[in-house]
Amino acid sequence: MPSLDLGVLISGRGSNLQAILDAIAAGRLDARVRLVISNRPGVEGLARAERAGIPTRVLPHQEFADRDGFDTAAVAALREAGATWVVLAGFMRLLTTTFLDAFPHRVVNIHPSLLPSFPGVDAQQQALDHGVRITGCTVHLVDAGTDTGPILAQAAVPVLEGDDRDALAARILVQEHALLVRALSWLAEGRLQIAPSAAPGGRARATIAGVDTALGLAQGGRAPEPVGEGA
């Protein structure tokens, strides 16, 4: 049996979903995608899942009175499908404690910056507006804050002269694909360790057994792992 039973939440094209599916098919990730949920109908990510034979659900968020209502429906669908871990792969909604309490320390997000820098929307443009020379992407566990959960892995990407938002985003996305699969592989191997905060109201810290934090980060110049069907 696969080590990870995944539910994947998307809002758009699903290229990080495709990276997961490709890694599973190639034997590089010991996991199974049990269900893909989108809050938007007709997006490319749903087609990717369907081509791979993965069950899908569309839960239009406009049809729910509030975020708790959406999250309750999503949790029920994920549990029915047998998902025990959740990956947010370009999912453009904040989750409530209703969702997070159902999957404690088991919701993973990929964000296109080196957190804690540039949380929230359009992190690539934020990096350009601030004039930084290095940005990247972060895989982290999700908590009740906005991109504030325990960090699992990061990859650095240089900001080049003449970059616009689209050029920078495309280069970061290549690293997102590889880094997300790498982090999920560590989870599948049971290497995640969660240390509770030492201070009241502080944040938990995640470590990956056998990975030196200083040396275990993917670098922007490293050759990416291939991802099928485009970005």
| Residues belonging to the active site | 111
- DSSP secondary structure code for residue 84 in this structure: -
Question: What is the three-class DSSP state of 79?
Answer: helix
In the structure encoding, which two tokens stand for residue 153, read together? Answer: 């892995």
Question: What is the three-class DSSP state of 51?
Answer: helix
* Strands ordered across the beta sheet of 151-158: 56-58, 31-38, 4-10, 85-88, 107-111, 134-141, 151-158
Buried/exposed 137-156: b ≥16 CB within 10 Å, e otherwise: bbbbbbbeeebebbbbbbbb
